[in-house]
Every structure is written in C-alpha cells, then in structure tokens.
Homo-oligomer: A and B are copies of this chain.
Amino acid sequence: MNTFEPTPNTTLKRLPERGSFDRVTVNAILDEGFICHVGFAVDGQPFVIPTSYARIGDRLFIHGSAASRMLRSLSKGIPVCVTVTLIDALVLARSAFHHSINYRSVVILGTATPVEDLRDKMAALRAFTEHVVPGRWSQVREPTEQELRATTVLSLPLAEVSAKIRTGPPKDDAEDYAIPVWAGELPLRLVAGMPIADTNATAAQPVPEYILRYDRRTKNDRKT
C-alpha cells in the first residue's frame, strides 16, 4: 500500500490540503528526523517525552532503560501518540496574523509492543545507531546480552499515521501586500558543528568521514 488509511483521529478538520497519508512522504520525514515526542496518559495526566527512534519497514521503534517510567507505562499496551516534527522555515508575512512556520510532521497513533527476542532487539539497536549516525554501528562495540536485557525496545506499527506539511511563502490578505516590509521565508536547518573529541580518549583517533559530513537531509541509508 502506498498510502495510509485515514481514520477519524488522523483526518485534518482544518486546512486538509496540508495533510498527507502518502507512505513515501511519511517515511521521508521519519528518516530525516531522529527525535520524536512520545505522548501517553497515566491516570488521566498526559506526558510528552522526547526520545530517539528508528524505523524498520512499517514499524517504528523506541527504546530506553528497562527502568524508564515511560517505557514501563507503554509496555502495558496503553494508547500512544508519537510525533516527529521537522522545522523548515519561519514564514514572515506583512501582518502579524499571517506569520507561520514551514514544517513537516508525522503523527503516529497506536499501541506499542515490547520486543522480547534478543536478535530482534539487536536489530532494533542497530537501527537506532544507524538511524542517528549512519556508518557508526560497524565501528563500535556491539551490545552484550546483559545490555540487551537492560534495554527495553518497543515496536509501534505504522498503521494509523498522517503527515502534515506547510511549504511556501506567506499568504497575506490582498490589501496587505502593499505594506512596505520585507516578507518571505527564513530557512532553518539543524546543522552539525565542529566535532568535539572526548578528552578521556586513551589515544587520538581520526574523525570519521560520516561525522565530518553529517547531514540529516542527505541521509540515504534507507530509501523505502
């Protein structure tokens, strides 16, 4: 299937032209981002916690310490919402009212399932590492069985999913275009700075190419 099935909870009531259920669009956003915000409610109180994630096919994975309150809550199978947001530009209009932000976001609804099999856990941890820093996994020490057991990995199906996107210039009221003020877009991008070597290193090591060239937009480790 190339599109996700809309549901009442993923259908935009306003500005439906900003919505998308296209799988390629959704996957591109999930693959460029690496931080999601996980929403869940405990005793009626919602919590929103930032964490990293990885995608393998049509499943999203999050992970953390087995002692994490968030992961223990979600492991019980309560409803969850995972949102990934990429900020692309500030949109400066002639009126305060029409200022906006260009962004791409994905909202995933569902329930998460703990990954128990150690090989599946290992695959997920590999995906986390390679999703955040493509090229890193083969250079570092793999998780031990003890580390795998200390890590909770949750899997969330990409089933009830929608993307929301705003692009392009400001949309001012017709009579406001004559206001003599600069208007347009200010692109924003998460960029890498100079790598900072760990001063606790026992010997100097060359900075890997995948660190020197780090760029989320040109990540091409996964195309599907």
Contact = CB atoms under 8 A, between A and B. Distances in A.
A101 B216 CA distance: 15
Nearest to A203: B180
A77 B17 CA distance: 30
A195 to B, nearest CB: 5
A3 interface: no
A128 to B, nearest CB: 8
Interface residues of A, number: 95
Interface of A: 9, 13-14, 35, 37-41, 44-50, 52, 65, 67-69, 79-83, 85, 87, 89-90, 92-97, 99, 101, 103, 105, 107, 109, 125-126, 128-129, 132-133, 136-137, 139-144, 147, 151, 169-170, 172, 176-203, 205-208, 211, 214
Given A95-B143, A140-B96, A186-B214, A79 B195 contact: no
B35 A199 contact: no
B179 A198 contact: no
A201 B183 CA distance: 7
A205 B191 contact: no
B188 A202 contact: no
A14 B208 contact: no
A201 B170 CA distance: 10
A180 B81 CA distance: 40
